[in-house]
Amino acid sequence: MEIIIGLLSGIAASMGFGGGFILIIYLTAFAGVEQITAQGVNLLFFLPTALVSLVIHQKNKLIQWKKLLYLIPGGLLGIAVGTWLSSNIQTDFLQKLFASLLIFVGTKEIFHKNSEKHLTKQKQSNIIKTLKCDDREKSS
């Protein structure tokens, strides 16, 4: 079972699907591990796994480092608040919070618009707008 869960979590983590949430679900719902312990295991699991996938993503030139820089200061502030909260609320409540997040994001993912198609549509409408502006300039 460790093999299957490890593989699935690794695949999901490397594709940027919210890391090893599969691992947390498995540990808490099936292996009877406390939520906070499962979260720690997931963190330890994620670091080497992510490092390997980052090397491959970097080779494929998929990482936008510039965009990252802006996110880091806020991210660190959020972590300080988040870890403080996680150690000051009961682990059962923490798990319910986690499940609520899953419901919210899961629903959103199932009914999402295809972003690639959406982007091309946006580009098309932008082109149409510029053409219209050009026409107006010509006529004036």
> Site residues for another protein, window 86-115 (CB under 8 A)?
86-87, 94-103, 105-112, 114-115
CB environment 12-44: b (16+ within 10 A), e (fewer): bbbeeeebbbbbbbbbbeeeebebbebbebbee
CA gyration radius, the chain: 21
Nearer to another protein, 110 or 136 (CB): 110
Which among 61, 59, 75, 62 has a CA at the least distance from the CA of 16?
62
Is residue 79 within the footprint of another protein (CB under 8 A)? yes
**Tokens linked to 72:** 């880091």
Among 3, 136, 137, 140, binds another protein (CB under 8 A): 3
Nearer to another protein, 80 or 138 (CB): 80
Q: Which of residues 118-137 bind another protein (CB under 8 A)?
A: 119
Nearer to another protein, 51 or 137 (CB): 51
Is residue 6 within the footprint of another protein (CB under 8 A)? yes
Minimum CB separation from another protein for residue 136, in Å? 27
Minimum CB separation from another protein for residue 134, in Å? 24
Nearer to another protein, 44 or 134 (CB): 44
Q: 24-30, long-range: CB within 8 Å, 24+ apart, which pairs?
A: 24/98, 26/1, 28/95
